[in-house]
Amino acid sequence: MHINEIEVDYEQLKRSKLRVINLYKKLGGVEIINRVSFEVYPGEIFVITGPSGSGKTTLLKLLNRLLEPDDGKVFLGNIDLLSIDVLTVRRLICYVPQIPVMFEGTVRENLMFAPRYLNIPVSEESLREIMTDVGLNPSYLDKIAETLSVGEKQRVALARALLIKPVYLLLDEPTAHLDPENTRILEDLILELNRTRGVNFIIVSHDTAQAKRLGTRIARLENGQLSIIGREKIE
Ligand SMILES: Nc1ncnc2c1ncn2[C@@H]1O[C@H](COP(=O)(O)OP(=O)(O)OP(=O)(O)O)[C@@H](O)[C@H]1O
Ligand SMILES: [Mg+2]
């Protein structure tokens, strides 16, 4: 792929660190993210915990420019993500929201929206495969997306993101609407995608046990500050 007209090797990008430097964001006059710096390493499942309202969703959105920071930098390897085209950023770093949003139409149309827009070829077989991967019957491809349960929509949203093959995948409370059984299925899927397909994750979770099950490292966001609270860093 090309970034700022320079040829970039996708496989190399997948092995790049995400570096956050002095990130700063005020919302409604409050310093929600107050000069936060951290690095996420390729291969990681980096879990962010913290109390409700501490800014976890805000932080994720700053990483792929769904929100623009007031100050600070975000680098993927040596690419300054604030200096490149925003659509390229969204392709490299994909955000799956806390409350899933479905477009009008079928599940298939929802899955194909971004690949079509970005000219990424997707076969019928890989659509069926991705459905199975996220624990949904491929017959769901022809259902109207809006009629799905919240948990099912969440899995379609994850499948939709996976099809774009982002370098970092940001999941905001991915199991918040799932029952315990489906929570374990989705957690296993995340671990499997990380191990076998080398997907790098940054996951927000308020569930400490889940953070321990999934995280290569666990961080806590509180009072605008992020501190690493668990596990040694991997490199
Ligand atoms: N557009 C906005 N304008 C003003 N304040 C905002 C805006 N968006 C978020 N906030 C505030 O910023 C703070 C952080 O919100 P955020 O959604 O990032 O928290 P969170 O940690 O994800 O919470 P939760 O665990 O409940 O999802 C909250 O106090 C919220 O009210
Ligand atoms: Mg949130």
Kindly indicate the confidence band of residue 235, based on its pLDDT and cuts at 50, 70 and 90.
very low
- Residue 5 pLDDT: 66
State the amino acid at position 213 in one-letter form. R
Closest CA to 170 of 181, 151, 157, 182: 157
Ligand 1 atom closest to Cα of 55? 18
Nearest-CA residue for ligand 1 atom 16 is 55
Nearest-CA residue for ligand 1 atom 28 is 53
- Residue 118 pLDDT: 83
Chain position carrying tokens 């409370």 = 173
Span 86-144, pLDDT tens digits: 989 999 999 999 889 999 999 999 999 989 988 889 999 999 999 998 889 999 999 99
Q: Which residues line ligand 1 (CB under 6 A)?
A: 27-28, 32, 50, 52-58, 98, 206
Ligand number nearest to the C-alpha of 58: 1
- Coil, strand, or helix at residue 192? helix
State the amino acid at position 97 in one-letter form. P
* Strands 79-80 vs 71-76: parallel, antiparallel or unpaired: antiparallel
Which pTM was predicted?
0.93
Instruction: Compute, in angstroms, the gap from residue 99 CA to the centroid of ligand 2.
Output: 9
The residue among 8 and 82 whose pLDDT is bigger is: 82
Instruction: Compute, in angstroms, the gap from residue 57 CA to the centroid of ligand 2.
Output: 4
Instruction: Compute, in angstroms, the gap from residue 53 CA to the centroid of ligand 2.
Output: 7
The tokens for 81 are 């993500």
Task: Catalogue all structural domains in the chain, each as residue range(s) with its CATH number.
Answer: 2-230 (3.40.50.300)
Question: Number of helices and strands (H, E) in the chain?
Answer: 8, 12
pLDDT at 68 over 70: yes
Instruction: Compute, in angstroms, the gap from residue 188 CA to the centroid of ligand 1.
Output: 29
Residues paired with residue 187 on neighbouring β-strands, in sequence order = none
pLDDT at 232 over 70: no
